[in-house]
Amino acid sequence: MLRKYKLECEKIVETQNNDGTIFVYMNPDEREKKTLVEGYKLDEHTLNSALDPDEQSRLEFEDDHTAIIFKFPRNYSGGVQLIFKCGTMGVFVFKEQVIVLVSEVIDLFDGKQFMKKNTMDGVVLELIYKSIHHFLKHLKVFYLIADELEQKINKSMENKYLLNLFTLEKSAVFYLNAINSNAVLIEKLKNNSQKLGFDQAQLEYIDDILIENNQCYKQAEIYSNIIASLMDARASIVSNNLNVLIKTLNVITIAIMVPTLVVSIFSMNVKLPLDQQNGTASFCFILALAFISVVVFLFILKRITKEH
């Protein structure tokens, strides 16, 4: 899917004509890939890397363009599995044109940060900054989901919520790797600023982007540690809740077995105490003895509990 954009009055506007300077290929098909390789002389390996979600961020210089590959968080829909995934975006900067490759359909140029842009380099830097801002938004969702799971685990003995927390922890690790990979790319952009033609204002903006990315990494690291601690603590809570439940069931079982034993003894072929013709006195005696046995058991259990 191809969308064309152009810079007009310091704004990025979509166009259907051939005057577009920013081409965005979203989940390109084989025909579009062939056009990019043959028409724009893009390296096929680099093109496939821009669509590979497991690819690391990097910067490459070609004869007539510069290839920039960086990570961004994929849209989260809130399904049963609390998995947050990262995607890879490729930006190919030519002298008068920018080609963007992404593996899913997203709105790239929404937001006020794309206002008052009059250079292609500024657009590229804003795309990187937007991915960092997107990571920060997802990290806030991490905290809310972890807090909700914590409350549910406190009341539940099922493994479902623990598995959700484990999936969330795995997502945090993926985010840490992606954010760190972007940090390496931003450092390379800063070190090659003269070769890329960045002016002083853009160089200062790269410093701001690097600071934002480092803060994002620190926040992701904190959330990852918190979720890991929650995993250990909540696993212990679930185990403790299960032990309490088993203990309660054992008490109930033994409390039922003691009077059952008393009644079973007198149910054998033996002479009953207070035996009369109708057996009413014997029945009441056995029933009272069974009740006393339960009281004695509970008294002994209470004494043992206090000692421990």
The yes-or-no verdict on residue 306 having pLDDT over 80 is: no
At 214, is the pLDDT very low, low, confident or very high (cuts 50, 70, 90)? very high
Among 14-18, 31-35, 113-117, 121-125, name the one with the lowest average pLDDT. Answer: 113-117
Per-residue pLDDT, 246? 83
**How far apart are the C-alpha atoms of 111 and 266, rounded to whole Å?**
85
The yes-or-no verdict on residue 211 having pLDDT over 90 is: yes
Residue 294 contacts residue 284 (beta carbons within 8 Å): no
pTM: 0.72
DSSP 41-98: ---HHHHHHHT-TTPPPEEEE-SS-EEEEEEEEPP----SS----EEEEEEEE-SS-E
Per-residue pLDDT, 81? 63
pLDDT digits (tens, 9 = 90+) for 145-157: 877 777 776 666 5
* The one-letter amino acid at 222: I
Residue 173 contacts residue 224 (beta carbons within 8 Å): yes
Of residues 91 and 262, more confidently modeled: 91
Of residues 32 and 232, more confidently modeled: 32
- CATH architecture of the domain with residue range 2-241: 2-Layer Sandwich (3.30)
Residue 165 contacts residue 234 (beta carbons within 8 Å): yes
At 265, is the pLDDT very low, low, confident or very high (cuts 50, 70, 90)? confident
Of residues 90 and 307, more confidently modeled: 90
- Domain-wise residue ranges, the chain: 2-241
What's the whole-number mean pLDDT along residues 170-192?
A: 89
pLDDT digits (tens, 9 = 90+) for 73-132: 887 655 556 778 888 889 998 888 888 888 888 877 776 655 566 677 888 888 888 899
The yes-or-no verdict on residue 227 having pLDDT over 80 is: no
Residue carrying structure tokens 């990187």: 128
Percentage of the chain with pLDDT > 70?
A: 85
Residue 293 contacts residue 258 (beta carbons within 8 Å): yes
Per-residue pLDDT, 148? 79
Cβ neighbours for 120, distance < 8 A, ≥ 6 positions apart: 7, 21, 22, 93, 96, 97, 98
What integer best gives the mean pLDDT of the chain?
80
